[in-house]
Amino acid sequence: MKLLSRTEELLLNSILRLEENAYAFMIREKLKEITGKTWAFGAIFISLDRLEKKRYVESFLGNETPERGGRRKRFYKVTSYGLKTLAEIRKIDQAMWKDLPVYLLEKE
């Protein structure tokens, strides 16, 4: 099993959350919501490409809409392989945090 990078994890997470409406612009908004930071488009595009290449997500084209200057949307959907990986990550995450005493984090 491969470990995902944090960015990839966040992206997959937000694509999942967005369900049917996962395209770059909305993903960016969602990421802002989760992390509280504004992400650069470049970072999102490149990571999305990479995720697609590694087959965690797949993409399909949507319809043209006027507010996008007549350009089409590219929607993303997490593949079953992606879902499986995410689930594993979640398990690891939980395992990782479960027993960690809170005072260790507050020490400094």
Is residue 68 a contact residue for other proteins (CB under 8 A)?
yes
Given the structure tokens 């919501």, which residue do they identify? 33
Q: Does residue number 32 form part of the binding site for other proteins (CB under 8 A)?
A: no
- By CB under 8 A, which span of 3-11, 37-45, 50-58, 99-107 interacts with other proteins? 37-45
Is residue 41 involved in binding other proteins (CB under 8 A)? yes
User: Which residue matches tokens 């939980």?
Assistant: 94
Residue 72 phi, psi dihedral angles, 5° rounding: -85, 160
> How far, in Å, CA of 64 to CA of 35, rounded?
30
Told to check if 43 binds other proteins by CB under 8 A, we report no
- What is the rounded distance in angstroms from the CA atom of residue 83 to the CA atom of residue 75? 17
DSSP 8-class letter at 24: H
Place of tokens 């990550």: 89
Closer residue to other proteins in complex, CB, 38/80: 38
Q: Which is nearer to other proteins, 65 or 90 (CB)?
A: 65
Point out which span in 2-10, 63-71, 80-88, 92-100 binds other proteins (CB under 8 A). 63-71
Minimum separation from the CB atom of position 81 to other proteins (A): 23
